[in-house]
Amino acid sequence: MDNSNNVDISRITDSMKPPEFRIQKLQDFFAYTLPLTKNNEQYLMIEQIDKRQSNTIHYYVIDDGITVIGRFDIGYSELDYGITYHIVDEFQNRGIGQIALKFVVGQLFNKYGATRIRILAINDRSRSIAQKSGFRRKTEKLYELSATEFQRDRSKENELEER
């Protein structure tokens, strides 16, 4: 659900690094409410196409309506997309990364028409989130999910929900 009209982006604080990827307060955005985490917490997701860097999209996870607690940086070439992500330390192990990654992956396949998504998972937590989200390990740090695999996994999830 896009609720951009209800979000005052000028109030959002972002101290994540690197600073050049921080939320752009004067730029267009879309806002979405993420599903509940395993701890019944709910967060806001802001999506911005980076006008300073071509072929780049950023997704920001917002807590309390005003603080960036995570970021998903997407680069793409044609229909191949790459993701790097980070959730700030005090918000890790709450299911936020997995919920947010599933949302971003759905956006990239459904809204942007991605045919393949790759993740550069730089630590054990990132690798675990990638695997739980259906990505296949290609190398020690590289994980991949195709549109076909994504649709197949969604079909399986829908079948289980119908039972």
What's the pLDDT score for residue 4?
65
3-state DSSP of the chain: CECHHHCCHHHCECCCCCHHHCCCCCCCCEEEECCCCCCCCCCEEEEEECCCCCCEEEEEEEECCCEEEEEEEEEEECCEEEEEEEECHHHCCCCHHHHHHHHHHHHHHHCCCCCEEEEECCCHHHHHHHHHCCCEECCCCEEEEEHHHHHHHHHHHHHHHHC
In the chain, which residues have pLDDT < 50? none
Amino acid in the structure at residue 160: L
